[in-house]
Amino acid sequence: MPDDIKTLSSQLAQDPDSLLFLRLGELLRQKGHLDAAHRVALTGLERHPHLPDAHDLYARILADKHDYERAFDEWDMALRIAPDHVGALKGLAFLYFKVGDVQQAQAHLEAAQRAAPDDPGVAQALAMARGGGERGASEAGGGATEALTEPEPIAPAAQPLEEARVFAGLEGAQEGLLLLDASGRVLGGALKDPSGKDVTDAVAAYLAGVSQEAARTVKLLGLGKWTGLAAEGNHGHVHLAPPTGDALLLVVRDRAVPMGRLAIIAQRAALAARRWLEAHA
Amino acid sequence: MTTAPAGYGKALDLITRVRGVRGAMLVSAEDGIVVAEQLMEGIKGPAVAALAASLATRLRRAMEAAGVGASLFWHLQAEQGALLVVPTPGGTLVVAVAEPDVNVGLVRLELLRAAEVVG
């Protein structure tokens, strides 16, 4: 095994963009080298932020380190990218069992079984969950996340609700404006990258929780409520705003649009979003 | 005040000398730990650093997914102040906590200069 680690490390060093980090990270995790596994997974995730397997690996390592909150986030992210990801479904089931939510755990395991009907680990964990409740959870969870995990009902994450109406008449309504709820579910608008590819769901997934974190940060600093977050990127600018307490508005434009103008566009869009949310409350 | 390399202190000086800036920090982007700080009394540096790093990670991933590239500067605006951040290529966040009426353009420039010093 150490030779395998050494070999994989060497190969990964020669080709840092390869997916070998998945095997190396898992191997290190299984050997109990959690800090090393953590570093490998995080580096891999930096290079492949949209790869569900990378989030799954990172989540398993976090779970082994008993960092269950962040593990949940990573499995949740994996599922948002790949809703049938068996590893993430099992991982979440494991976490639900840990907190005693057997019903949710079972639901996630059932989803995992639908995605991978021949996986004996899923069948075993599901049988235990159905029959043993907490005891089953404990037994199945004994092998860390391998045996027992479950998915949460995030599936309808990207169901736009009458999206065309939210930003009706606003510039970029279907390519540069997005309205999300607190869980990162799309309420309206759409987003395309510079090549024209629809990136709505991926961006929404990454922004889940941003509103709450921004609120916590400014509260900690005693700055009152947060009103916006403007960011410059290499190829474009983004502006985030909270049209209501829970929702999050995202405006994206290329670098030709100055940040000040972007803030004005965001203000208009936030007003439209607020009206729409109030009308649909 | 955290003990830090002299270069870090100079980098933070660039920022804190701007009127309206209540403090500045260098934060490890990976784990949210304070590397160096010059903060006014009462500001909970470690907690703010952790949240800033977490926000920076989410923002970076979202921006990359949106195709606008890496984040060069971000500005969290609030009713009574602001948090301004420049990520460095070396994995450090240069962070300023400011009053609401601060000259954002000037703070941005000083954050970018400090980021060059930190690397």
Q: Nearest chain B Cα to A200, which residue?
A: B66
Q: Return the pLDDT at A132.
A: 55
Residue B9 Cα, gap to closest chain A Cα (Å):
22
Whether residues A216 and B51 touch (CB distance < 8 A) is answered with: yes
Specify the pLDDT at position A225. 92
- The pLDDT tens digits of the residues spanning B59-115 come to 999 999 999 999 999 999 999 999 999 999 999 999 999 999 999 999 999 999 999
Across the range A2-12, mean pLDDT stands at: 84
Q: What is the pLDDT of residues A39-85, one digit of tens each?
A: 999 899 888 888 889 999 999 999 998 888 778 888 888 887 888 88
Q: Do B65 and A202 touch (CB under 8 A)?
A: yes
What's chain A's average pLDDT? 80
Asked whether B98 and B22 are in contact (CB, 8 A), the reply is: yes
| pLDDT the model gives residue A3 | 65
Highest CATH level, class, for A156-279: alpha beta
The model's pTM? 0.59
pLDDT digits (tens, 9 = 90+) for A195-231: 888 999 889 988 888 888 899 899 999 999 999 999 9
Could you tell me the pLDDT band of residue A149, with boundaries at 50, 70 and 90? very low
Query: CA-to-CA distance for A271 and B7, rounded, in angstroms?
Result: 45
* Cβ-based contacts of B82 with chain A (< 8 Å): 223
Structure tokens belonging to residue A173: 């309504």
Give tens-digit pLDDT for A96-106.
777 667 777 88
Distance of alpha carbon B47 from alpha carbon B27, whole angstroms: 11
Provide the shortest C-alpha distance from residue B97 to chain A (in Å): 8
The residues in B 27-56 lying below 8 A from A, measured between CB atoms, are: 30, 42-44, 47-48, 51-52, 54-55
**Range 68-97 of B in CB contact (< 8 A) with A:** 68-83, 97
Distances (CA, A) of A34 to A11, A16, A69, A78, B91: 20, 20, 17, 20, 22
Is A217–B58 a contact, with Cβ atoms under 8 angstroms apart? Answer: no
Q: What's the CATH fold of domain A2-152?
A: 1.25.40
Note whether B78 contacts A226, CB cutoff 8 Å: yes
Spatial CA neighbour of A139 closest among A94, A99, A107, A184: A94
Inter-chain residue contact B75 with A237, CB threshold 8 Å: no
ipTM of the predicted structure? 0.92
pLDDT recorded at residue B84: 97
Q: How far is A96 from chain B (nearest CA, A)?
A: 24
Question: If DSSP codes are grouped into helix, strand and coil, which group holds residue B117?
Answer: helix
Dihedral pair phi/psi, residue A256, rounded to 5°: -70, -20
Query: What is the model's pLDDT at position A172?
Result: 66
Residues A84-140: tens digit of each pLDDT: 888 999 998 888 777 667 777 888 898 888 888 888 888 888 887 776 544 444 443
Handedness of CA A81, A86, A91, A92 (dihedral sign): positive
Q: Which of B47, B118, B48 is nearest to B84 (CA)?
A: B48
Is pLDDT at A25 greater than 50 in this prediction? yes
Residues of chain A within CATH 1.25.40.10 domain(s) are 2-152
| Cβ contacts of B98 on chain A, cutoff 8 Å | none
C-alpha–C-alpha distance, residues A77 and A250, integer Å: 19
In B, minimum Cα distance to A237 occurs at B68
The answer to whether the CB of A74 falls within 8 A of the CB of A57 is no
The pLDDT value given to residue A138:
42
Q: Which two tokens stand for residue A51?
A: 């790869």
Burial per residue of B74-90, b for 16 or more beta-carbon CB atoms within 10 angstroms, e otherwise: bbbbbeebbbbbbbbee
Q: Kindly report, residue by residue over A190-199, the tens digit of the pLDDT.
A: 898 888 889 9
Name B78's bridge partners: A226, B81
pLDDT, tens digit (0-9, with 9 covering 90-100), for B7-49 = 888 889 989 999 999 999 999 999 999 999 999 888 888 999 9
Q: Which CATH architecture has domain B6-118?
A: 2-Layer Sandwich (3.30)
Q: Would you place residue A173 in the very low, low, confident or very high pLDDT band (cuts 50, 70, 90)?
A: low
